[in-house]
A and B are shown apart, each in its own frame.
Chain A
Amino acid sequence: MTSENQTYAGAGSSFDRSKAVSGLEVSMSDLVLSLPVIEQPKLRTDSVRKDVDAKGKEYWRSMDELADSQEFDAFVRREYPSQTEVLIDPVSRRSFLKLMGASVGLAGLAACTVQPKEEVIPYIKQPEEMVPGKPLYFATAMPRSGGAVGLLVRSNEGRPTKIEGNPDHPASLGASDVFAQAALLGLYDPDRSQSIEHFGGVRTWGDFLTSIMGRVSQASGQRGAGLRFLSESINSPSLAAMMQGILADMPLAKWHQWEPAKGSGAFSASKDATGASVATRYRFDKADRVLALDSDFMADYASGTRYARDWAQRRKVSTSSDEMSRLYVVETTITMTGANADNRIAIRPSQFEAFVGALASAFGISGGASSGLTQAQAEFALAVAKDLRAMGGRSIVIAGEWQSAYVQSVAHQINAALGNVGQTVFYSAPIEASPADHLASITDLALDMAKGKVETLVMLGGVNPVYSAPVDLNFVDAMQKVPFIVHHGLYRDETAEHAHWHIPEAHFLESWSDARAHDGTVSIIQPLIEPLYKGKTSHEVLTTFTKNNSAEAHDIIKGYWTSSSKSTDVERTWRESLHNGVLANSSTSETGTPTMVAIAATGGASNDGIDIVFRPDPHVYDGQFANNGWLQELPKPISKLTWDNAAYMSAKTAKSMGLSASLNAKGGDYEADVVFIEVDGRHVEAPVWIAPGHPDATITLHLGYGRKKAGRVGNDLGFNAGRIRSSNAMWFASGAKVRKTGKTYSLAGTQVHFTMEGRNAVRESSFEEYKKNPHFVNEEGPGPNKDMSLFPKYEYNGYAWGMTIDLNSCVGCNACMIACVAENNIPVVGKEQVLKSREMHWIRVDRYYTGAAEDPETYFQPVPCMQCEDAPCELVCPVDATSHSAEGLNDMVYNRCVGTRYCGNNCPYKVRRFNFLLYQDWTTPQYKLMRNPEVSIRSRGVMEKCTYCVQRIQNAKIDSEKENRQVRDGEIVTACESACPTDSIVFGNINDPNSRVAKLKSDTRNYSLLDDLNTRPRTTYLGAVRNPNPEIKRVPATRESLLEESA
């Protein structure tokens, strides 16, 4: 019996009764509390264990589950973790009942009112295209570093309410990613800067113009000397043209660029033999073999959506004669791409160049060393080289943005040697206006500032060097020497604090602009709404340095593109470009096969101490999304942490330092040891996170946290890894000293929340095995008799909605989760609530490991409501708030729900979410604009869940009914399906044998989750197939070794 059981059933034993109830009579009902504890059997019974062992494979989500620790066992017993605490304490139980009684009474009274008066406010003149109640869609694009993502934005009565990908845009092809989805919340963020400020006082744009004109005339008098601009990299052709115009007028002025997540190595290696910068793009849909050298290409900021989609094209297998690509990942940390690898090897950063050297020498490329590799690493390199050679011309070698110039150079050379260039790898002119080494650029600026050479500094477009510049540049001190600093950004951030003028930036959904995608395709960015806070675009700020300083962004953009247009009907071309979201034939042309510059290795780094890997955070990126609650609460793709960053390390490394992050049985949160990390005399304290698959003696720190001026959501979350990031160790630091501090910190990790108890949730096979046995998902036999049910029989004659989720192509990017949040008005609950397993996401992405903790296979499984035909939740609802529709949906009527939570208790898939508190913000006016008017907003005490986006189903049905036809396949696209970059989620009518979903459900890989329960879920999964190289041996995993590992 665990200690948890004791408090669970027998409060009397652990509770000082006399104190709590002194002066009260002990009633009969109270005696119940003193009944002896009921002995509960171990949940993961021996029979389950036997099943697992018979298959020889066990799937686990956390080290605790792997070790089957007492805490884990106690945690899984709790239906609503941390809720039982309230009920076992007699005093609070009594007050709970009192409050319940009172609230029932008050709720009754509150219902005794007539609906409040409501106004109808029509237009003065109704815009012609506007039909009240019918949303409109506008094409625009989200500008990114290194590209742009084309979007279609839904506008309900002039309010942008949902973002979808633009099918015509090369970086989207209709899908989107977490950043694009979350941009909606970014637009309506009430913490955005709302006024022009001068030393903290509110000013007007006119005041600013007066002030800046003085500086402009002074600067132009001295040909721009002392005038500096700082921006992120610019891939807006019109903005770049303005900037270059200004620099031509004032040749001594300088334009610096700084993005904390730009790699210098990638810049110096992306040059041809003449020294001209080139851009590289990849066609993963044409590659049979992919080798990622520390490249997280599926999560690439600019092109990850497209790359993941292309890659997944080659992963769709439906017959055993289909071919499938193979992905090798060699990496220094844990990434989404690594999790999807067929063969993966984790290597310390200080040994990475040696590995690449070994690989290079296998292709006859000199200039590197390969000493110090283990036998397994050397064999891996040789096996990969052999396999790539066999697939010459149909493979891709891609190096990560943050790897050294040498690694980049080797990747280019291998691609050339294999004949991939022109087949799967293409070179073109750079899409950025002026490619630069960002580190050199910001260093140059900081030095000049410190020397007093800078008189006017204009920081455009939200660049935040005070937070993000390398710590050894002392950017804040340098700023003190500059007499006139203008900061233009969405937030009054750390840099704005130290600037003299602050200009609020218009969000891209409020702006006219343009941007090139990763392949050069131009999109016009058009506003969906007037700037909420009179923000200015970068164009408008830059106009103050031109002759025409009152030009509006629209005129600048339209002027730029219509004047450069070769079309005979300029106006028509302009309108078509706006409508389509892309300028036809604007991608940059390929430059053939340039000879890429060859760069030698820099010499081995020392292996002493601990290596540090810096990475942008998967969700808040470089910190620019820190104030976005949707992104903060989204569990990180691999670690499933929310609201924090952490020091990721392997179990072995943690054990050697006596560190742990232990599961708290009450809430499913983690108590993590805090470590003190020192690099070059600078230090930071960070909570520990044990990451299976992480290289040993290495710690990964994610940037973007520890913000001080991010806003009410993002302030003081996590720690700022930038405090130990200096200009000589931007992405990797070696020789770090790490010690335990003795402190602990609560981490809100969701990896064990809503656990499936190891009941065979993920089914997978290798490609070899799949060819032999395409029915691998149903190895355990047919399951229970489908006709044996206590539920009354029901014939679904009309539509029968269903969904399939292909685990083979799901890359775990979380786009579905956040798309669902945006579409269905799902609230953010905050870290305190996530610690108690109360996150509200209707679809979650479970991450499973199998194999040894140092080299696990990783699988992702998105879990929405299964829409069971025989739904256990419906039977137990006392008020019929959840009931079945005639089309097989498990309907949820929020206004009827009284919050008994019986349904959530009875759901075997744990997909129902309960509003324990008033999570919705009912008062902030900006959020009222943001919400989808087609979905009820749920209040406290209401159960909610996925309904297959029933609002979209109903609207499509109404449209089809009006035309007297059936809903076409693909006409209804759920929010998750729409966002999915890899088309893993397919929704449709399973009664239509020609629908995509019906065909997928007849695939041999189709299976139901927990099919032994015979709930007949409408959501089914297609088993995963991996294609590992049989020549590469994995670290063998035995149960004993696993236990020892995690103990």
Chain B
Amino acid sequence: MGQIFKRSANALARASIIFTGIIVAVALYAVLLGIPRSSYWNQTDIVKTQPVQFSHKHHVADDGIDCRYCHTSVESSNSAGMPPTKTCMNCHSQLWATTTYLEPVRQSWKTGVPIKWTRIHDLPDYVYFNHSIHVNKGVGCETCHGRVDQMPLVTQKSSLQMEWCIKCHRAPEQFIRPRSQVFNMAYVAPDNQEEVGLKLKKEYHILGSDVLTSCSTCHR
């Protein structure tokens, strides 16, 4: 009886080892680099249900309300602040005062039970982010949160992963804008961003990247 495997089978066997290697490498790549960067993982572009389907697009773009009307402490505190029910009722006791859509807001106002929103931008608890210092140093809202004025329902636009944070902490000049433009959703970076950025960095006394990338800048 002749041999079952001919000599050429050796080549096939060798080739299959190489192919297996390639498959494993691709799988590893996907696992190690792909999944952590995936939308599933970092929750970008994922719409989350809220008690009230609040439209930032309507309030910002159509009505022209400034970010700070609701997020009052963005310039002074680590937290940008979530508007209390009172802020909603400032307008909605008059406007759309009977629509079922806003029933949860009126309920909250009547019963004194706060509205429980689902957090969209959720940093891990070991990261200590401070809104006020970023806003004061010329980081626009839009830089991190995207075109909120174009989002009927807000989703997370940046990965919020350390890789993403540190890109700016290493070279803030690539991202910062004049303070006057921080709350401007439609700001477009100039072609000479690097040059403008370096000027602003000096003007705003932004610390060097050695300080900005020290661990304790964000972790304590």
Contact = CB atoms under 8 A, between A and B. Distances in A.
Interface stretch (A367-375, A472-480, A522-530, A881-889): A881-889
A894 interface: yes
B85 interface: yes
Nearest to B210: A886
Contacts of A114: 40-41, 43
A319 B91 CA distance: 69
Chain B CB within 10 A, most for which of A118, A122, A934:
A122
B128 A951 contact: yes
A118 B119 contact: yes
Interface string A499-525: 000000000000000000000000000
B73 A131 contact: yes
Contact of B116 (A115, A119, A125, A884): A119
Nearest to B76: A131
B45 to A, nearest CB: 14
Interface in A546-597: none
Contacts of B40: 114
Nearest to B125: A936
Contacts of A798: 207-208, 211
Given A114-B43, A958-B132, A962-B132, A947 B216 contact: yes
A80 B126 CA distance: 27
A884 B213 CA distance: 10
Contacts of A892: 215
B216 A885 contact: yes
B83 interface: yes
Contact of B77 (A123, A134, A893, A964): A134
Given A119-B119, A124-B108, A962 B84 contact: no
A950 B126 CA distance: 13
Interface string A860-901: 000000000000000000000001111101011111000000
A889 B220 CA distance: 12
Chain B CB within 10 A, most for which of A124, A954, A961:
A124
Contacts of B119: 117-120
Contacts of A889: 214, 216
Contacts of A884: 214
Taking chain B's interface residues, is the majority helix, strand, or loop, or is none over half, making it mixed?
A: loop
Contacts of B122: 115, 118
Contacts of B109: 124
B214 A936 contact: no
Contact of B112 (A124, A133, A134, A883): A124
A934 B220 contact: yes
B124 A115 contact: yes
Given A936-B125, A947-B220, A961-B205, A885 B41 contact: no
B19 interface: no
Contact of A122 (B117, B124, B137, B215): B117
Contact-size category for A: 35 or more
B211 A887 contact: yes
Contact of B214 (A120, A124, A891, A934): A891
B2 to A, nearest CB: 43
Nearest to B43: A114
B214 to A, nearest CB: 4
Nearest to A894: B126
A516 B199 CA distance: 58
B112 to A, nearest CB: 5
B122 to A, nearest CB: 5
A931 to B, nearest CB: 11
Contacts of A934: 128, 220
A1047 interface: no
A883 B220 contact: no
A159 to B, nearest CB: 15
B76 A122 contact: no
Interface in B70-87: 73, 76-79, 81-86
Interface in B197-220: 204-205, 207-208, 210-211, 214-217, 219-220
A961 B133 contact: yes
Contacts of B136: 961-962
Contacts of B112: 124
Nearest to B212: A886
B84 A132 contact: no
Contacts of B125: 936-937
Contacts of A40: none
A994 interface: no
Contacts of A110: none
Contacts of A120: 82, 116-119
B115 interface: yes
A362 to B, nearest CB: 59
A324 B204 CA distance: 49
Contacts of B77: 131-134
B84 A126 contact: yes
Taking chain A's interface residues, is the majority helix, strand, or loop, or is none over half, making it mixed?
A: loop
B63 to A, nearest CB: 20
A28 interface: no
A1035 interface: no
A954 B212 CA distance: 11
Nearest to A794: B210
B21 interface: no
Contacts of B81: 122, 131-132
A958 B207 CA distance: 11
A798 B212 CA distance: 12
Contacts of B78: 133-134
Given A131-B77, A951-B128, A964 B205 contact: yes
Contact of B219 (A119, A126, A895): A895
A950 B217 CA distance: 9
A118 B125 CA distance: 11
Contacts of B73: 131-134
B114 interface: yes
Contact of A126 (B41, B86, B124, B214): B86
A962 B138 CA distance: 11
Chain B CB within 10 A, most for which of A133, A884, A895:
A133
A936 B215 contact: no
Interface in A934-966: 934-937, 947, 950-951, 953-954, 958, 961-962, 964
B155 interface: no
B133 A962 contact: yes
Chain A CB within 10 A, most for which of B208, B211, B219:
B219
A886 B128 contact: no
Interface in A218-249: none
A121 B124 contact: no
B58 to A, nearest CB: 19
A226 to B, nearest CB: 47
A954 B118 contact: no
Contacts of A119: 116-119
A120 B82 CA distance: 8
A954 B219 CA distance: 10
Interface in A99-157: 114-115, 117-126, 131-134
B216 A954 contact: yes
A225 to B, nearest CB: 49
Interface in A908-938: 934-937
A120 B117 CA distance: 5
A117 B118 contact: yes
Given A885-B214, A935-B220, A954-B216, 18 more contacts: A118-B122, A119-B117, A120-B116, A120-B118, A122-B85, A124-B84, A124-B86, A125-B85, A125-B86, A133-B73, A884-B214, A886-B214, A891-B216, A892-B215, A895-B124, A937-B125, A961-B205, A962-B132
15 contacts: A120-B82, A121-B114, A121-B116, A125-B86, A133-B77, A133-B78, A133-B79, A798-B207, A798-B208, A885-B217, A886-B210, A947-B216, A954-B217, A961-B137, A964-B205
Per CB-CB distance, the 8 closest pairs between chain A and chain B, nearest first, are A885-B214, A133-B79, A122-B82, A891-B215, A886-B210, A133-B77, A123-B84, A133-B78
Interface of B: 40-41, 43, 48, 73, 76-79, 81-86, 108-109, 112-119, 122, 124-126, 128, 130, 132-133, 136-137, 204-205, 207-208, 210-211, 214-217, 219-220
